[in-house]
Amino acid sequence: MTPISSPKTILVLESTFELGGAERITFDILQRVDKGHFRTVICTLYSLGTVGQQFREAGFCCQERLIRHRFDPRAFLHLRNLARRHKVDLIYFIVQPLTIFWALVLRNVLGIPVIGAIHNIPVFESSISRIAFTKSVSALDHVIAVANDQKQYLVSSLRVPEHKITVVRNGIDPSLWNHLKERQECGETVVGIVARLVPLKGIDVFLRAASLALTKEQSLSFWILGDGPELARLQALAAQLELREKVRFLGWVSDVRSVISRFSIAVSCSRTEAMPMVLLEYMAVRKAVIATRVGAVPELIEDGKSGLIIDADDPEALASCILRLSQDPAEALRMGENARARVNAEFNISRTVRDTESVWLKALGTRPAR
């Protein structure tokens, strides 16, 4: 490999940078990459989105609305001209059907290496979509997985070549959470969850667990931070379970950290995940965490030490863990401190940035100048 003599241009391709774990970690990484080695251009096929606006406000070069619809025939010309104008050396993108298609088109036409980051466990509607995904991902120059469990799934279940996959675990900057103080509502133990309101996040399980726990402990209060297509159905379920006085649907708020700081117990009851960013955020602010045994959760949480792990779709187990931690504040405090220590040691954003840069350099066939 040869040293880098001048910054390489990375085209970061996305459909739209709306709020989500994958988008937030991408923003955190790109803010911190070595500007002496890399120059980044943000490109969204549709609008920039909420996180995309944050890129623009942070001074990134941003291009948006390259297409009006997914079959827009002008997309190729727009993307080709953009890549040539900015002298793009590498394309980096969050893997989605549309982004992977256009990344491969540019690679084949312009000879630019492409790296896809997969932030979820793919769910397929048909065998055809599964085959198409596997062939497309296998055609990439390299793939970033966010957890060992996810890499194993890509290799064993989808037959993606193992040598093309590197695990780069998500991380956060713990110092951003240092100023937060734990604040409790008077006389209440706040059990909170942060998630998009979609079936895979298991908010219905959270509500059923709330109903069970409240039969034994009336001082509990349940907060749901997030929005999504399931809102009306979940509100109806809360009413059916007679939880209206004990459950608060907060929607999305601009300062998520300040709300998490008010949780006594933090929950993730997803039915599927890769490496959920929200767990790292819970852990960074020293929250006792209860999470389902999906994806990389066992890589994040040491069961019984830095949190509690339960099976998915088990409201009885979730209710039992909520009662256990609410009735033993000392144990909850101990788990929260252990969780913060684990984030500091294993899931710091500086490591994520360094490992991402290494994958880019490998694809470029270069190394940093010493």
Q: In terms of domains, do 117 and 196 share one? A: no
pLDDT tens per residue across span 37-46:
999 999 999 9
Mean pLDDT, range 138-149, rounded to an integer: 94
Q: In terms of domains, do 158 and 206 share one? A: no
Sign of CA dihedral 242, 267, 151, 353: positive
Among 16, 78, 12, which residue's Cα sits nearest to residue 47?
16
Q: In terms of domains, do 152 and 25 share one? A: yes
Q: What is the pLDDT of residue 181?
A: 53
Q: What is the pLDDT of residue 185?
A: 46
Lowest-confidence pick of 170-179, 189-198, 202-211, 290-299: 170-179
Q: In terms of domains, do 146 and 41 share one? A: yes
Residue 83 in contact with residue 63, Cβ under 8 Å?
no
Q: What is the pLDDT of residue 180?
A: 62
Pick 257 or 232 by higher pLDDT.
232
Q: In terms of domains, do 352 and 323 share one? A: no
pLDDT at 314 over 80: yes
In terms of phi and psi (left: phi > 0; alpha: psi -120 to 50; beta: otherwise), the region of 70 is alpha
Q: In terms of domains, do 166 and 43 share one? A: yes
Q: What is the pLDDT of residue 230?
A: 97
Q: In terms of domains, do 156 and 281 share one? A: no
* Mean pLDDT of all residues belonging to the chain: 91
Q: What is the pLDDT of residue 369?
A: 45
pLDDT at 182 over 80: no
Residue 32 in contact with residue 350, Cβ under 8 Å?
yes
Most confident of the ranges 109-123, 293-307, 311-325: 311-325
Among 194, 338, 343, 322, which residue's Cα sits nearest to residue 270?
194
Q: What is the DSSP letter of 190?
A: E
pLDDT at 179 over 90: no
Pick 177 or 348 by higher pLDDT.
348
State the CB neighbour count (10 A cutoff) for residue 68: 11
Q: What is the pLDDT of residue 313?
A: 97
Domain with 274 in it: what CATH number? 3.40.50.2000
Mean pLDDT, range 136-149, rounded to an integer: 94
Q: In terms of domains, do 125 and 200 share one? A: no
Q: In the sheet that 220-225 helps form, which strands lie side by side, from edge to edge?
A: 247-251, 220-225, 189-194, 265-268, 288-292, 308-310
Q: What is the DSSP letter of 293?
A: S
pLDDT at 368 over 70: no
pTM of the full predicted structure?
A: 0.85
Q: In terms of domains, do 313 and 283 share one? A: yes
Lowest-confidence pick of 20-24, 87-91, 182-186, 356-360: 182-186
The pair phi, psi for residue 154, each rounded to 5°, is: -65, -35
Predicted confidence band at 125 (pLDDT cuts at 50, 70, 90)?
Answer: confident
Q: In terms of domains, do 112 and 243 share one? A: no
Helix (H, G, I), strand (E, B) or coil at 5: coil
pLDDT at 258 over 90: no
Number of domains in the chain: 2
Domain hosting 22: range is 2-171+348-367
Q: In terms of domains, do 112 and 225 share one? A: no
Share of the chain above pLDDT 90, in %: 78
Share of the chain above pLDDT 70, in %: 95
Q: In terms of domains, do 163 and 15 share one? A: yes
Q: What is the pLDDT of residue 2?
A: 55
C-alpha 30: how far from chain center:
15
Q: What is the pLDDT of residue 292?
A: 97
For the chain, the C-alpha Rg in angstroms (whole number) is 22
